[in-house]
Amino acid sequence: MPDRPQLGPTIFVLFGATGDLSKRMVLPAFFQLARSGLLGSRWMLIGTGRGTVTDDHFRAHVRDSLTQFGGGHTDDGWDDFAQRLRFAGGGFTPEDPGTLPSTVQDARDSLGVPDAQLVHYLALPPSTFADTTRALGAHDLARGSRVVYEKPFGTSQSAFRELDAAVHEVLDEKQIYRIDHFLGKESTQNLHILRFANGLIEGVWNREHVEQVQIDIPETLDIDDRARFYDATGAVLDMLVTHLFQVAAEIAMEPPLSLGADDLQSARESVIGAFRPLDPTEVVLGQYEGYRDVDGVADDSETETFVAARLWVDTDRWRGVPFLLRTGKMLGVAKQRVSLVFRTPEGPLSDIPPDGAVLTFDLSGDGEIDMSMVVKEPGPDDELSVGHLSLPLDTMPLGHALAPYSRLILDVLHGDRSLFTRPDGLAHVWDVADPLLNRPPAVKLYPGGSMGPPEADKLASPCGWLVTQSTG
């Protein structure tokens, strides 16, 4: 990343350092940055928690996490990485900061920089965000720092407003980084790069040419490893009002003045303001059979593990085009796809497949862009078929793809807020979700390994969902 300046001295404080999110995502991402030489030469990482853990025990925990979730390649660069790890125990509340202030001071002394940049990453349950933020202010760890909040940032309109007010009592908006890792995916960023850099694509990126947009994130996984969190959250809060709405905004936004942080954020948040509030009759909620048998799930739980919704964007560019959003657990296939289905042209040909011309972005892994189009089958007759052109993004020359969390953490370290959400956009998100949260439709059971309740199929007519159990 030659366009990035060298980072200055940095102290990264990871709250919830021994939790599931840190093990799976944050620690492997930080190690990837270190091995890639993107952290500079003067940095330290401090993990926090309620217990009393020695630095060596924390280092062993980190190495186990990297072995399990970071690809297992810890030999290269581990010794240097390990010596920069510290642990601050005793918990952290407004009344009692534990050992964190003294551990931060020791890190500053070790770096020889009294004003090293502080970055706090809250890999914690959302219910703890307000108190943790107040504690940062109470113990003089907020001034000049950057603070990363995991999603969801609030669980309703009122909860969002209360949390937003509590956070802004301590921090300025420019210190706040509300993370949504889908915005850090290479293919998500290519949604606007491909469009704004190619007149061929930008010219058809509108309702005149696009019949529907599908944002489809089915998962084959269950929720065994985080049952209590999931039963208190559900698919709507875990995925719909976070990842899927943000990806919809990336697609639907008007061209920003630039791709700088303020302009890109403004374009994304502005179009969220044009999202029509969800109509509960255009939403299908489901729960996979056997969900209530999982340890940690209430026997009478009505929590949804599946949601499909039809979203409308009331702008001149997209008015009348349905944005079809779907995600769920224990489905028949795992995919992360965004598809623009183009309208069938008028003309001399008949029997054109309704989903023959589709531009698809695969958001999984390093990403891939696929274009399907109607072509003539080889032979003497004018038989039509659908062909595909695919561009795997990992084949691009000189590419250096970072995992989504790595990219977003690096942006935080550089103070780049381009791929993070703003409160005005999040306030609109809760306005859009409010009818669904207040008047949810009945949750319908579906068998594991299916594609969810059959009622969801009607939402995607006339084309139908492009991701099916037979999707390769």
The pLDDT-based confidence of 72 (bands split at 50, 70, 90) is low
Domain ranges of the chain: 10-150, 182-402+444-460
For residue 203, count other CB atoms closer than 10 A to its CB.
Answer: 11
- Distance (Å) of CA 430 to CA 132, 154, 312, 436: 23, 9, 15, 10
Q: Is the pLDDT of residue 427 over 60?
A: yes
| Mean pLDDT value across the chain | 90
- The response to whether 370 counts as a known ligand-binding position is no
* Cis check: omega of the bond before 380, within 30 degrees of 0: no
The pLDDT-based confidence of 288 (bands split at 50, 70, 90) is very high
- The response to whether 19 counts as a known ligand-binding position is yes
CATH number (3.40.50.12280, 3.40.50.720, 3.40.50.2300, 1.20.1070.10) of 10-150 reads 3.40.50.720
Report the predicted TM-score, pTM, of the whole model to 2 decimal places. 0.87
Q: Is the pLDDT of residue 46 over 90?
A: yes
Q: Are residues 187 and 367 in contact, defined by beta-carbon separation less than 8 angstroms?
A: yes
Q: How many secondary structure helices (H) and strands (E) does the chain include?
A: 15, 15
Q: Is the pLDDT of residue 462 over 90?
A: no
The pLDDT-based confidence of 287 (bands split at 50, 70, 90) is very high
Residue with tokens 């960023």: 189
- The response to whether 181 counts as a known ligand-binding position is yes
Between 457 and 157, whose confidence is greater? 457
Between 55 and 397, whose confidence is greater? 55
The residue-averaged pLDDT of 221-225 equals: 83
Between 468 and 322, whose confidence is greater? 322
CATH number (3.20.20.70, 3.30.360.10, 3.30.70.3420, 3.20.20.140) of 182-402+444-460 reads 3.30.360.10
The pLDDT-based confidence of 13 (bands split at 50, 70, 90) is very high
Instruction: Give Cα 20 distance to the centre of its chain.
Output: 16
Q: Is the pLDDT of residue 472 over 60?
A: no
Q: Is the pLDDT of residue 15 over 90?
A: yes
Select from 325, 289, 322, 283 the least CA-distant residue to 305.
Answer: 289
Q: Are residues 196 and 306 in contact, defined by beta-carbon separation less than 8 angstroms?
A: no
The residue-averaged pLDDT of 5-20 equals: 91
Q: What is the spatial distance between Cα 82 and Cα 65, in angstroms, rounded to a whole number?
A: 13
- The response to whether 39 counts as a known ligand-binding position is no
The residue-averaged pLDDT of 63-67 equals: 92
Instruction: Tell the burial category of 112 from Cβ atoms under 10 Å away from its Cβ (0-12, 13-18, 19+).
Output: exposed
Give the bridge partners for 215, in sequence order: 325, 338
Q: Are residues 242 and 126 in contact, defined by beta-carbon separation less than 8 angstroms?
A: no
- The response to whether 17 counts as a known ligand-binding position is yes
Report percent pLDDT > 70 for the chain: 96
pLDDT tens-digit readout, 18-29:
988 899 999 999
Give the bridge partners for 182, in sequence order: none
Ranking 134-138, 368-372, 456-460 by mean pLDDT, the lowest is 368-372
**pLDDT at residue 70, rounded to an integer:** 78
Q: What is the spatial distance between Cα 183 and Cα 198, in angstroms, rounded to a whole number?
A: 21
**pLDDT at residue 34, rounded to an integer:** 93
- The response to whether 21 counts as a known ligand-binding position is yes
**pLDDT at residue 260, rounded to an integer:** 80
pLDDT tens-digit readout, 126-178:
889 999 999 999 999 999 999 999 888 888 889 999 999 999 999 999 999 99
- The response to whether 329 counts as a known ligand-binding position is yes
| Run of H or E including 312 | strand 306-312
**pLDDT at residue 40, rounded to an integer:** 87
Please give the angle made by the CA atoms of 48, 50 and 55, to the nearest 5 degrees: 50
- The response to whether 226 counts as a known ligand-binding position is no
**pLDDT at residue 395, rounded to an integer:** 66
| Run of H or E including 282 | none
Residue with tokens 């959302």: 126
Give the bridge partners for 386, in sequence order: 374
Select from 221, 202, 205 the least CA-distant residue to 213.
Answer: 205
Q: Is the pLDDT of residue 1 over 50?
A: no
Catalytic residues: 243
For residue 430, count other CB atoms closer than 10 A to its CB.
Answer: 20
- The response to whether 50 counts as a known ligand-binding position is yes
Q: What is the spatial distance between Cα 201 and Cα 114, in angstroms, rounded to a whole number?
A: 50
Q: What is the spatial distance between Cα 258 and Cα 239, in angstroms, rounded to a whole number?
A: 28
Q: What is the spatial distance between Cα 364 and Cα 403, in angstroms, rounded to a whole number?
A: 10
Q: Which tokens in the block code for residue 464?
A: 């139908």
